[in-house]
Amino acid sequence: MRSSDYAADAGQKINWKVFQIVWPYLLEYRARIVLALAFLVLSKGASVSGPFLLKYIVDTLSENGESGLIIVPVALVLAYGFARFSMIILGEIRDTIFGRVTERAMSKIGLLVFKHVHSLDLDFHLNRRTGGLSRDIERGVNGISFLMRFFVFNIAPTLIEIALVIGILLFNYGLAFAVITLIAVVAYILFSTTMTDWRTGFVREAAQADSAASTISLDSLLNYETVKYFTNEEYEANRYDKSLSHWEAAKRKNRLSLLGLNAGQGLIISVAMTAMMWLAAERVAQGSMTVGDFVLINAFMMQLFIPLNFLGFVYREIKGSMANIENMFALLDLKPVVEDAVNASELEVTRGAINFNQVSFHYREDRAIIRDLSFTIQAGEKVAIVGASGAGKSTLVKLLFRFYDPNSGTILIDGQDISGVTQHSLRRTVGIVPQDTVLFNQSIFENIRYGNPEASDQEVRQSIRLAHLEDFIAKLPQGSATVVGERGLKLSGGEKQRVAIARTILKRPPILVFDEATSSLDSKSERSILSALQEISQGHTSMVIAHRLSTVIDADRIIVLDQGGMVEQGSHRELLSQKGHYFDLWKAQQRDHK
């Protein structure tokens, strides 16, 4: 399944896999669940006793006439009040006890999905819909919470209560009352499930429209500056308005279908209640039943159809929740293309030598990016990779970090094939200053600490000094506590690059990668950043991806790529003297800078 199509099968039947995932979290709190079930049983006992107490009260009042109010045993009235209160408070205690189970399961499942999304390959994240993805996860986790709470503590208890009421009516008042109740319950359940199955398509359509609107909104806000540059505020508003129109239409269908469902349910309840009351009234008139029996049957029917009506709501919500969590489970079913080998070992770096051995790679089979490429970067050596746009320079970085695996060939670090070591140990070994530094919407200090979350404040401050960030930070009103904004928008390109350098210094990796780290900077910023890069790369193995050749003339060796293959390598002087590809690139850039 392609990563961008992870929700393509959202129209399938209910995904009962939810219970397989939830069950282990339930078992973790066995004692709480048992205690909650005990309160459930007590609550149902109190619920069933209420109508009987009401019958005895009414019968006593009827038998004693006008003096009944004085003669009615006070204990019956108090018992009825206590039964009603007990039913409510025991239910609340049950929900409170089980709440801890639900919250913990939501937390753990949310963490499971979060970790899983981070484990997916780069291709998924390049094609993801960030806003819609976050809403799908949020709705999925909330849907699981709903299933856990209501399936276990509302559906099953309601079915038990229905069985108890039908049994009581059959035993005390005969077959007719039990049959009417049973027919009404079966008709109600069949109607509710059939209508709800039909409505699920509208629920899903509304959820998809909601995700689409959220995606457009978030994407537009994240690209706020671009919207302003091109004065496309109205265009973005129209896009969002069109998406909201789809959402409105979907919600309208959902609402109208809900009207039909509720009307049908109300009709079934009304017909059943009328039939039962008519039959009970006839029996009272004949003298075979007391007024108290009439009241008891009415109370039982009211008490029965309240949870039964809630059962219909729960079923509707379960179907809606299932529609919402389908995307989340489709997401959980995705497997990353790049995975650790079964017996992957930890990468052990003693020197930091890198070897690309006959590496070939393509994103699509009809277009090769890297072709049979072999080169070695010795320990402590600074090697630059240059070439025209599309030559495959940045792809080498992705392969080194194992965001993708080569289609053929191997990449070795100190003789260890990186496909045989854990990705975590590999990426811990390699530090990068990327072309486009993306920062979190936190303070400068915390963004730098991200290079090593366990680092002390003193170590972070030392990294700031080594990256020559002190003067810049000193000019800020809030110093290093200054929040950088979404994706670091409050900082200039050069300032973000310095933060990236400080972050990499704090990581202290033996291998450094600079992926066109100065391509978007002005000359003054470039010189300053280059000076900092030269400082931190001393004694480290360095791979520099460069577009501007002037930034790599001090490299120990320069490798020239063309159409995914190496065409030249040597020092700056050696390559100029060969008057080949590098010479042509150099001359072209010199002309451009005149």
Residue 394 has pLDDT above 70, yes or no: yes
**58-67, 258-267, 500-509, 566-575: which range is least confident on average?**
58-67
Strands (E), 258-381: 354-364, 367-377
What was the pLDDT predicted at 569? Answer: 92
What was the pLDDT predicted at 129? Answer: 57
Distance, CA of 506 to CA of 68 (rounded, Å): 86
Return the CA Rg of the chain.
35
Cα dihedral angle (555, 557, 562, 567), rounded to 10 degrees?
A: 160
Q: How confident is the model at residue 490 (pLDDT cuts 50, 70, 90)?
A: confident
Q: In this predicted model, what pLDDT tens digit does every residue of 107-158 receive, in sequence order?
A: 787 788 888 888 777 777 766 655 567 777 777 778 777 777 776 667 767 7
Q: In this predicted model, what pLDDT tens digit does every residue of 178-211 receive, in sequence order?
A: 898 889 888 988 888 788 778 777 877 888 888 8
Instruction: Report which of 97, 99, 100, 108 is spatially closest to residue 34, judged by C-alpha positions.
Output: 97
Contact residues for 384 (Cβ-Cβ < 8 A; gap 6+):
544, 545, 546, 552, 555, 557, 558, 559
Domains of the chain: 14-333 (1.20.1560.10), 354-592 (3.40.50.300)
Instruction: Report which of 137, 144, 320, 156 is spatially closest to residue 214, judged by C-alpha positions.
Output: 137
The reply to whether the predicted model has a pTM over 0.85 is no
Q: What is the mean pLDDT of residues 403-425?
A: 92
Query: Do you know the residue count of the chain?
Result: 594
